Amino acid sequence: MAILNGKWIVSIDWVKACMDGMEPVDEQKFEVTTDVHGVREGPKLGRQRVINKQPRLFDGMQFYLHGDYTVAYRGFLQDLVVAAGGTVLHRKPVSRDHQKLLDDSSPLIVVYSLENQGKANLDGNDDYRRRQADDAQALAFASGGEAASSAWIIDSVAACKLQPL
């Protein structure tokens, strides 16, 4: 959320420097540049996007969260999508032919979860995840959209740039 809202993301060294100086110090040299997954410059790009009044990351995009999610994780993803300017669909997307009649050209992303959930553990994670991905891909194809994992949303936000699907 901090990246999407253009806030500074700094290391603990900034807090220590502020305490040593007994006043806030410049954040720039303490800004986090790489996250734990190796994504670089997301916080800086997020700040620049807000400062330059650029469109939000998912501006004009629609997202359908397909499949099983825990309530908390679904809520977390929905909050990220909305904060990034996207729209969360609460019903299955319509078919491609019907979409043309509605003249809605907003990009559609059908998102499937990669999170471990109770059902996944019973069925075997790999098979369950593969089915989730296949089902999302079929729905995306039928509705003229693209399928992406829930990690794609998080990675795109972390980089403050749409990642390859």
Residue written as tokens 């098979």?
127
Indicate whether 83 and 143 sit together in one domain.
yes
Q: Count of CB atoms within 10 A of residue 65's CB? A: 22
Indicate whether 88 and 151 sit together in one domain.
yes
Indicate whether 140 and 100 sit together in one domain.
yes
Return d(Cα 12, Cα 3) in angstroms, integer.
Answer: 17
Indicate whether 48 and 66 sit together in one domain.
no
Q: Which residue has the higher pLDDT, 35 or 118?
A: 35
The per-residue pLDDT for range 69-89, each reduced to its tens digit, is 999 999 999 999 999 999 999
Return d(Cα 108, Cα 104) in angstroms, integer.
Answer: 10
Indicate whether 69 and 141 sit together in one domain.
yes
What is the domain extent for residue 9? 3-52
Report pLDDT for 106: 82
* pLDDT greater than 70 at residue 122: no
Indicate whether 73 and 23 sit together in one domain.
no
Indicate whether 74 and 152 sit together in one domain.
yes
* pLDDT greater than 70 at residue 123: no
Q: Which amino acid makes up residue 8?
A: W
The per-residue pLDDT for range 129-146, each reduced to its tens digit, is 788 889 999 999 999 999
Indicate whether 104 and 41 sit together in one domain.
no
